[in-house]
Structure 1
């Protein structure tokens, strides 16, 4: 029996560090090849790491909540038939940080439980903006750690190491003594924090003692409270890292690196909403979520075909500038997740039928909501839709996703008075109305092209039959 050390691998996209979010095992647990042992957060997503050996867990060398560089040792495994490796160096302690006015929970998200925000549908038929919940069930295989003789499996969270404690500031390394952190997903931790509940005092009803919102509510109903509820500090400092840090840098670079122009249009979507009702009753679409976002996405793809100059990128190399036209559309959908805003994209969306596009959007939303979107799914986008209507917002001035040249904001779909008919037949009727806002890079998209593109999207949504002419 020999001791092997598992170092933090590069999860892709040239990332240099990651945060240990959740250990799926504890010392003494038996593991098989490709068992998932830890969940990490990179600057782009949550990633599950499988172990490449079969054996017994020795030590967990990094505490939950700590950031470690790629290549740092994080766990040891006792493997039969091998010689001991040299003792691993402990991951370096992070630099001391300025004391915070009050403690913060390690995994506090910014959004409610089960909320995928901008990736859901807007307006009619879904006034609360909620969508179907769930997970895509996809488990990533990293290069060098693919399936060997079987499928990758995820170990139950009940195997959480009692000797590894998470800290809000990520301090500490190596085996850590003390009680185990209560088992709960980040949205539940956020909910409990907002309610002033200490999860250590809550009994979890899920498998292995996992705590859900109902458990927190039951604790409150029984009169349970947290003493910190009455002594909350006036200010709280939250370290910006991971997805939020990357998003902040990317949006700042885009806002000041590309000259933005935004145009708006208000349209009558009644015909599109009637089409949605027919699609929902159609046998081919009964088992898939059909939303206004689906029709907006299809309209945008058709408009890209008529106006290919929008689906392009501005590139500079020294004094030489180039416009790179894309003969494919990787359609990005901005999604608000518990760990921040991400923009996964549907690859080659322009080649899909309406049903195929509906399936792809469903998978994209569920994967984003579950926090399982991988770096590869967020790279290579060519144009993006942000669905601000799910928040009840009419419109906005979206910032272009870096590496692209245009982004469409889709507002709430509302019943509003609208003038219909003409001449003696002119009258006011209640109609389904929405607003679209298109931001574009004025270096390669001038006002004429941007206006024609936005007008084409509006024309299809006002009269879906036009899609037959332009398909």
Structure 2
């Protein structure tokens, strides 16, 4: 009975389609139980990581059972369809074969489906999440001591505001919690001045707002006749405090990782190890764009707003997104879905005293050029003033980072978490360029587009980058394509 059953019912297994892959998703069944099939007939369509493939059945018969539903990811080698290759040959054997075959799909569907839903994005996600969680758990211990010292220092410097503390943090010095004394607050230029003049900031009485030491305070300390006495007085206090400090004879400075910098580090690690990054580059002649920038500066419709190359680069990217809307998407790991956004919240990476911030212009796709210029100006000024709100940094879809302002040719930017693409803009330089058959000096820059290869393939990423470059090379396309 068993021999007859095994000879009558054939299991068609998920084949290796020749790409070295371990799984495929069943997109569509072309047959149902009871349908007659012939050798070579296509029974289903499956999708691998590279392409959609139609699978032919290798024998004749009648479909007895489909082992997996459409949309299920199946391991290579797993049985996907059972075919009765000798229908009607043994009426008594068919129910027995059906009875034995029927329970088999139950564990095959229940367990592999639950586990196969993970492998599609599992490898990069596990690595990324593992690093992110570890860093989240360990970092707070390093900053525990300074955090506990803040309330004690509050009495010593009651006027110190949050803004002053943030600015002071950027000076590269840790708080000194010795006998209740708080570290002196001063901006980097003032610290350098004090160092050059040999003045200990701890001996100066600050007169600036929020207890900040000013240049005048430093100069006054130098000219004051009692300055030497003031320096020697606190020496017994400052000497012991050097032991628990983090600097060794001025050769090292340790800065606690916290606030924006800590969040940025965690986000970048999570993004780098969860989203497979691909970066493409293009060098483009932007001479015409630079001329347009100069013309717009004197345009009455642009009065009161700042016009710079970044404005037209942003507009060019928005046009490219309009032509290739699939780039404006995000990967939903939990739902295993790609979410295409029908709006563009354009992020602009900004270096601030607090660290790297990426606020975004909401609904940038709907803005006119003057409106985009105004929003861009407000975003940059707000970030530099340290007034960017958490809401302004949420919901971004695509980001631009302008590394050219530092004289850098280009870079390979890391995606802002939750986004699928980021454009890096290099320095715009006068370079020899072949223009109309002759070598001429032209304004040239290099663009780099990083994208999430889970949802953006090479063709889509290339089209977006090429379209952005084409608009910058011929800015009249802002009209014809926009």
Question: What residue is the counterpart of 1:365 in the other structure?
Answer: 380
Q: Any idea what the Cα deviations from partners look like across 1:220-273, whole Å, max 9, x if unmatched?
A: 997999999x98432222221111111111101101101100000000010000
Q: Using a 3 Å threshold, how does the CA distance of structure 1 residues 434 and 210 change in structure 2: closer, same or farther?
A: same
Q: Which structure 2 residues correspond to residues 29-48 of structure 1 after superposition, within 5 A?
A: 40=162
CA shift for structure 1 position 457: 0.4
Question: What residue is the counterpart of 2:320 in the other structure?
Answer: 303
What TM-score do you get using the length of structure 1 for normalisation? 0.59
CA shift for structure 1 position 372: 1.1
Partner Cα distance (1:470, 1:358) in 2: 20
Q: Using a 3 Å threshold, how does the CA distance of structure 1 residues 170 and 324 change in structure 2: closer, same or farther?
A: farther
Larger RCO: 1 or 2 (CA < 8 Å, sep 6+): 1
Question: What residue is the counterpart of 1:437 in the other structure?
Answer: 448
SS of residue paired to 2:375: helix
Q: Using a 3 Å threshold, how does the CA distance of structure 1 residues 220 and 379 change in structure 2: closer, same or farther?
A: farther
Partner Cα distance (2:441, 2:150) in 1: 50
- Answer whether contact 2:161 2:210 (CA < 8 A) is retained: no
Match of 2:425 among 410, 416, 438: 410
Partner Cα distance (1:279, 1:270) in 2: 14
Question: What residue is the counterpart of 1:77 in the other structure?
Answer: none
Question: What residue is the counterpart of 1:335 in the other structure?
Answer: 350
- Answer whether contact 1:270 1:431 (CA < 8 A) is retained: yes
- Answer whether contact 2:278 2:452 (CA < 8 A) is retained: yes
Q: Using a 3 Å threshold, how does the CA distance of structure 1 residues 268 and 204 change in structure 2: closer, same or farther?
A: farther
- Answer whether contact 2:175 2:183 (CA < 8 A) is retained: no
Question: What residue is the counterpart of 1:133 in the other structure?
Answer: none
Match of 1:248 among 236, 240, 265: 265
Partner Cα distance (1:355, 1:331) in 2: 16
Partner Cα distance (1:468, 1:403) in 2: 31
CA shift for structure 1 position 211: 4.3
CA shift for structure 1 position 170: 8.0
Partner Cα distance (1:283, 1:408) in 2: 30
Higher mean C-alpha displacement, 287-296 vs 191-200 = 191-200
Structure of greater Rg: 2
Q: Using a 3 Å threshold, how does the CA distance of structure 1 residues 211 and 420 change in structure 2: closer, same or farther?
A: same
Question: What residue is the counterpart of 1:34 in the other structure?
Answer: none
Q: Which structure 2 residues correspond to residues 38-437 of structure 1 after superposition, within 5 A?
A: 40=162, 107-109=169-171, 168-169=174-175, 184=186, 198-200=200-202, 210-212=212-214, 215=216, 232-317=249-334, 320-421=335-436, 426-437=437-448
What TM-score do you get using the length of structure 2 for normalisation? 0.57
Partner Cα distance (2:411, 2:297) in 1: 29
CA shift for structure 1 position 218: 5.5
Q: Using a 3 Å threshold, how does the CA distance of structure 1 residues 209 and 298 change in structure 2: closer, same or farther?
A: same
Partner Cα distance (1:447, 1:296) in 2: 22
- Answer whether contact 2:398 2:421 (CA < 8 A) is retained: yes
Q: Using a 3 Å threshold, how does the CA distance of structure 1 residues 219 and 326 change in structure 2: closer, same or farther?
A: farther
Partner Cα distance (2:411, 2:270) in 1: 19
CA shift for structure 1 position 288: 1.9
- Answer whether contact 1:418 1:428 (CA < 8 A) is retained: yes
- Answer whether contact 2:168 2:186 (CA < 8 A) is retained: no
Q: Any idea what the Cα deviations from partners look like across 1:111-141, whole Å, max 9, x if unmatched?
A: xxxxxxxxxxxxxxxxxxxxxxxxxxxxxxx
- Answer whether contact 1:328 1:348 (CA < 8 A) is retained: yes
- Answer whether contact 1:203 1:215 (CA < 8 A) is retained: no
- Answer whether contact 2:168 2:185 (CA < 8 A) is retained: no
CA shift for structure 1 position 183: 5.6
How many residue pairs match? The answer is 318
Q: Using a 3 Å threshold, how does the CA distance of structure 1 residues 216 and 207 change in structure 2: closer, same or farther?
A: closer
Partner Cα distance (2:382, 2:155) in 1: 27
Partner Cα distance (1:292, 1:458) in 2: 13
Q: Any idea what the Cα deviations from partners look like across 1:16-51, whole Å, max 9, x if unmatched?
A: 9997999xx999x9xxxxxxx9854xxxxx7x9xxx
Q: Using a 3 Å threshold, how does the CA distance of structure 1 residues 470 and 191 change in structure 2: closer, same or farther?
A: farther
Q: Using a 3 Å threshold, how does the CA distance of structure 1 residues 184 and 169 change in structure 2: closer, same or farther?
A: closer
- Answer whether contact 1:108 1:189 (CA < 8 A) is retained: no
Uncovered stretches (5+) of structure 1, i.e. residues with no partner: 1-15, 30-36, 41-45, 49-63, 66-104, 111-166
Q: Any idea what the Cα deviations from partners look like across 1:78-131, whole Å, max 9, x if unmatched?
A: xxxxxxxxxxxxxxxxxxxxxxxxxxx952257xxxxxxxxxxxxxxxxxxxxx
CA shift for structure 1 position 199: 3.8
Partner Cα distance (1:440, 1:420) in 2: 31
Partner Cα distance (2:478, 2:168) in 1: 49
Q: Using a 3 Å threshold, how does the CA distance of structure 1 residues 447 and 21 change in structure 2: closer, same or farther?
A: farther
The structure whose residues are more often helix, as a share, is 2
Q: Using a 3 Å threshold, how does the CA distance of structure 1 residues 253 and 209 change in structure 2: closer, same or farther?
A: closer
CA shift for structure 1 position 182: 5.3
Question: What residue is the counterpart of 2:72 in the other structure?
Answer: none
